[in-house]
Structure 1
């Protein structure tokens, strides 16, 4: 039973990191940069086999720094041609990922709760 709690706990950690990355992406979706520098890079969380015998790990990957050039000649960061750089972040895609990450977190939390209940029931049997 402790393996179930450990595995689900690592899943909760991975999904929390995913939620953090999505929040960061959403917060910076409209971050404007000058064209001589990189755009804000979308952050992705890559799930991978965890350390040891069980669980899941997570690492970060980043999107394209080129972003999208937008013509805004009145923007203070616009270059001589009138362009600024925005990150290439799709808000609809981020919201879909947000729902998946929330559901994954909730599913892992439910497993932890059920394993805890089973562990407590086993302790009660041992006392009786």
Structure 2
């Protein structure tokens, strides 16, 4: 049953990764007054569980609070000089990570499915013997 447990831990990690990426993408246009910190992107830190028992999210690293200053005088949160603070998030990078996280999730879901089929076949062999 180790295969299912290990793949399940990877499914949980990939789901958390997908959630983090979606949060970053959802806040990519979050404008704030320059006196405030920008939205900080979330980057998961994952590590192996002791004894080769899978993977777990062990922390969250955050992007720059400084973000980037953008001239947008029509924005309601703009300073008197017309600047807003935007997150320093690269949409292309986030979309690439989204694809990797989705494919990792799918691969581990396939591992669970194949392991389940293998265990069921082994039980059938035991019943016929």
Give the TM-score, by structure 1 length: 0.95
Runs of 4+ in 1 over 4 A off after TM superposition: none
Could you say which residue in structure 1 is the equivalent of 2:124? 124
Q: Point out where structure 1 has 5 or more consecutive residues left out of the alignment.
A: none
Work out whether residues 51 and 57 of structure 1, in 8 Å CA contact, stay in contact via their aligned partners in 2: no
Aligned to 1:113: 113
- 1:40-65 Cα offsets, whole Å, 9 max, x none, are 10011121122565110112211011
Is 1:27 aligned to residue 26 of structure 2? yes
Is the partner of 1:47 in helix, strand or coil? strand
Q: TM-score, normalised by structure 2?
A: 0.94
Report the counterpart of residue 64 of structure 1 in structure 2.
64
Alignment partners' CA distance in 1, 2:49 and 2:60: 14
Gaps of 5+ in 2: none
The separation in 2 between residues aligned to 1:76 and 1:106, in whole angstroms, is 42
RMSD: 1.1
Where in structure 2 are the equivalents of 1:47-126 lying within 5 Å? 47-50=46-49, 53-58=52-57, 59-126=59-126
